[in-house]
Structure 1
């Protein structure tokens, strides 16, 4: 795999110096530029897409979170900050990780390994890539094998992916966003709160779906035509 191109944006010179040192110790990384000025960094990104962005959150002109929101082409993002309370907003933007200052090299290295794996996943042919998805859970990027999914449930701002081994993974995201990650023909939305794998449907009766794992889920009125259409296939 080719080296990951990256830039770093931070208004603290010492923080940028540390990023330069750490990236130099990771052969897989190619650090192109560092920026103390967030606006200059944003302008560079809008004209020169990169694979990976290290960015501070607390900066004088614009926060790192707001800057990432403005990007039309978004790289993998690693937020660096001295404050834990920004994690919620960061993961809302699908940040790859969150590094708390002062950054330890072992923790930095672990995050880069994650970035490499995620980049390899994104570059796989679609037929291979859709065998699994990545979601944020417990401040980590978690890989979910689609063949292990029993059903997916939405509750408020969270989704819970129930697995066939009776374990579950909860993530801060909408059901609509999960569906965008899933192969269209393999999963079907049966309710505003439920998505099920087509392969796990055992029976449809009385406006309910019976799953192979033994669970029964309701079919929403607005989704009934879609389920009936799927049954004709």
Structure 2
């Protein structure tokens, strides 16, 4: 199996040592390099294949967020920081995960497993036809108005997902992560968030952010800028708040 080629950027030498040690423990990760400044990593990102970037946020001269916004085609990114307040901004930049220091290894492993799943989805091909991409969203039949489920193509197979099992959906550019009660990990599929939204019954689901759709009956609490489904925090965009607030209270 191909390994995910990783680099780590952090201005704290001890933090880099811990990341390097954790990466070495995971069989599907390969550490390409560590850097104490984002500017030092530019050449490697431009000239080498990098699949996954571990990026600290609070750094002098150029923060991790500022650096990430300068990249035209960034690799998958896992943010690492001691400051919780940057989580919502991380969602805006479609990062794979957001890790709070000190990072327990089990939490690190969960994050990189998510990255591996996304990598496999992006590089998936139909078995026996290596030159043919997995079916795009237009190849799937639309869901009829009287059904209680829809289908997605994921991991070389069609999966039936019942509306009642969907917790929320997160959009990642050309892919979505569908979180359900079926399993602990999300289903990954090559669909746009708009395509998934068109398959879900509007009475039960609401777009609350440009990157999130939630099941209204699964929400446990909400504030002006965020809501919770169990312990999972989901941002609420200012452009979506009014409609969401009305529908949730209805």
TM range (shorter): 0.5 to 0.7
Question: 1:14/1:64 Cα in 2 relative to 1: closer, same or farther (>3 Å)?
Answer: same
Q: Corresponding residue for 1:112?
A: 112
What does residue range 1-233 of structure 1 map to in structure 2 within 5 Å? 1-125=1-125, 126-128=133-135, 130=137, 131=153, 133-135=175-177, 142-143=186-187, 149-151=199-201, 153-155=206-208, 157=210, 159-160=212-213
Give the Cα separation in 2 of the matches to 1:100 and 1:75.
Answer: 20
Give the Cα separation in 2 of the matches to 1:151 and 1:48.
Answer: 44
Deviations 1:52-79, CA, capped at 9 Å, x for gaps: 0001000001111111111122111000
> Matched residue of 2:58: which SS?
coil
| Superposition TM-score, scaled by structure 1 size | 0.62
Question: 1:144/1:44 Cα in 2 relative to 1: closer, same or farther (>3 Å)?
Answer: closer
Contact 1:23–1:30 under 8 Å retained in 2: yes
Q: Shift in Å at residue 171 of structure 1?
A: 6.1
User: CA RMSD of the aligned region, Å?
Assistant: 3.4
Q: Shift in Å at residue 18 of structure 1?
A: 0.2
Unaligned runs of 5+ in 2: 126-132, 138-152, 155-174, 220-228, 238-242, 244-250
Contact 1:91–1:136 under 8 Å retained in 2: no
> Matched residue of 2:134: which SS?
helix
Question: 1:162/1:67 Cα in 2 relative to 1: closer, same or farther (>3 Å)?
Answer: same
Q: Which has the larger radius of gyration?
A: 1
| Superposition TM-score, scaled by structure 2 size | 0.58
Contact 1:5–1:31 under 8 Å retained in 2: yes
Q: Shift in Å at residue 159 of structure 1?
A: 4.3
Give the Cα separation in 2 of the matches to 1:15 and 1:116.
Answer: 22
Q: Shift in Å at residue 44 of structure 1?
A: 2.4
Contact 1:10–1:16 under 8 Å retained in 2: yes
Give the Cα separation in 2 of the matches to 1:134 and 1:66.
Answer: 25
Question: 1:115/1:108 Cα in 2 relative to 1: closer, same or farther (>3 Å)?
Answer: same
Q: Shift in Å at residue 135 of structure 1?
A: 3.8
Q: Shift in Å at residue 43 of structure 1?
A: 3.4
Higher helix share: 1
Q: Shift in Å at residue 141 of structure 1?
A: 8.0
Contact 2:53–2:76 under 8 Å retained in 1: yes
Q: Which moved more, 1:33-42 or 1:118-127?
A: 118-127
Question: 1:11/1:156 Cα in 2 relative to 1: closer, same or farther (>3 Å)?
Answer: closer
Question: 1:136/1:52 Cα in 2 relative to 1: closer, same or farther (>3 Å)?
Answer: farther
Unaligned runs of 5+ in 1: 175-192, 194-233
